[in-house]
Amino acid sequence: MSAATTDAAGGAGRVIVDDAPAYDALVALCAVAQPRFLKRSDWRAWAETAASGLSVEQWRRLRGWFAGAMVGYSLVALAPLLTGKRDLGDLADALEALPPGDLIRIVVTAEMIAPQTPLDATDLLALRGDLPAARHFCDRYLRASGRQRAAALRTLVAPEETRAELLATLREFDAHVFSALAPRLSDERARGATALCAQIERDGGLAPALISEHDDVQGFSPIIIGMSTLLGDAHSLYYHDTDHTLIDGRDYEPFIVIVGARQALGLAPHRHGAALAEGAERFADPATRWATLYTALADPSRLQIVRLLSARPHYGQELAAALGMSGATISHHLGALSKAGVLGVERQAHRTYFVLDQPTLRALLRQGEQFALGGPTGTAETSAETADDSAAESAAHNAHEGMA
């Protein structure tokens, strides 16, 4: 494991590039449970062959935890804490040692949850053995159905039975499937990690695009880039963003991106100054500038997000719950609005709040109207005038907030 300081991914945080085998192991579990999870046809063929060698009981458990909502995939949260070889066996050992309250919390937060969900260990453990109460908890707080809801319900009612089932799945998979595969993955995974570390060094500590494209990384700790040979040129995302830290007794709120080694090896050096120049050149044409803004707004979901944020700042799970969307979908829409220059973030306690820059949005829309109807726009004089208007509106908005 190696690390590099970064300002682009959360102030004084650290981006840690981690080539532990545990990331590949979790991807392999998902791939065998549902081979279409993999984009590379060569590894997909391996996954189908591996699946055919499992017993009916092994297949049932594997599908229950690593297909569909892939609740078992949330065990990636333990990977940055591993010591030793940091392989699937170590991950199983960490799961076995995990306090039951932490185990339940990892499972129930694997998908979207309501903002007010009680996540203290006392509240979660009080549901053990009480099926009606656990069902009420799932109905009231979880934004999940199917395998995700069933896994959460089983974990709330019988966490130790859940642990035993997960441990059996991990250890049997390690012994019968992954141990034979692991040596084939290590070289490309290590080379991908080396390439990514070199990129971060060249950038002077700036986070690569696959981290900085997510606006909600600010304040998370740790920020991890895990490597996987099996993912090829794709990547997957896990993060924890609630009022309660993920594991009791730790200031631990991870943001983890698992990156395909092929993608890491293919990343070009990110030159921050050059990127800014390219961005300025891209918007040198006023028509492109306004088209970019209108494209960001030309989606009903994004307009709903703008409307919600115009009332007050929201964090990601609030928006997802209000609009009935997944966290990944919300992140996609927020990224588009951020690139349009109308969205900011603020960190409070364990949450990242998204803030609509209303004065800037109003000013941009006025400028777009002037351009479309033939008025003056794009000149230094107009930009200065707009900046003054934005400053005035910001002052008025802040004064209003102070009186509220």
- Is 239 among the domain residues? yes
pLDDT band at 330 (very low <50, low <70, confident <90, very high): confident
Same structural domain, 128 and 9: yes
Q: Indicate whether 191 and 248 sit together in one domain.
A: yes
DSSP 258: E
Query: Per-residue confidence at 133, pLDDT binned at 50, 70, 90?
Result: very high
For strand 14-18 and strand 223-228, is the pairing parallel, antiparallel, or unpaired? parallel
- 171 and 296 share a domain? no
Compute the mean pLDDT over every residue in the chain, rounded to the nearest whole number: 78
Strand order in the sheet with 14-18: 2-5, 14-18, 223-228, 255-260, 235-239
| CATH number, domain with residue 381 | 1.10.10.10
Quick one: pLDDT at residue 12?
37
Together in a domain, 316 and 287? yes
pLDDT bucket at 382, cuts 50 / 70 / 90: very low
Do 229 and 283 lie in a common domain?
no
pLDDT at 285: 63
- Phi (first) and psi of residue 245, to 5 degrees: -60, 155
pLDDT at 400: 33
Does 216 lie in the same domain as 309? no
Same domain, 283 and 177: no
Same domain, 191 and 121: yes
Q: Could you tell me the pTM of the whole model?
A: 0.67
Which range of residues forms the domain containing residue 240?
2-266
Q: What region does 59 belong to: left with phi over 0, alpha with psi -120 to 50, or beta?
A: alpha
Reported as a pLDDT band with limits 50, 70 and 90, residue 231 is confident
pLDDT higher than 50, residue 249: yes
- The residue from 204, 236, 266 where one domain ends is 266
Question: Which 3 state secondary structure label does DSSP give 133?
Answer: helix
274 occurs within a structural domain: no
**Quick one: 371 and 292 in the same domain?**
yes
Q: For residue 76, what pLDDT band results from cuts at 50, 70 and 90?
A: very high
- Residue 69 phi/psi, 5-degree rounding, is -75, -15
Kindly state whether residues 239 and 336 are assigned to the same domain. no
Q: Which pLDDT score is estimated for 3?
A: 43
How many domains does one find in the chain? 2
- In this structure, the answer to whether residues 379 and 325 fall within a common structural domain is yes
All residues at 6 or more sequence positions from 166 whose CB lies less than 8 Å from its CB, including other chains: 65, 72, 75, 95
In a domain, 109, yes or no: yes
**Statement to judge: residues 111 and 166 lie in one domain:** yes
Among the candidates 232, 266, 300, a domain finishes at 266
| End-of-domain residue from the set 208, 233, 266 | 266
Distance CA 330, CA 316 (A): 7
Domain-embedded: residue 193: yes
Q: Which of 50-54, 57-61, 67-71, 222-226 has the lowest mean pLDDT?
A: 67-71
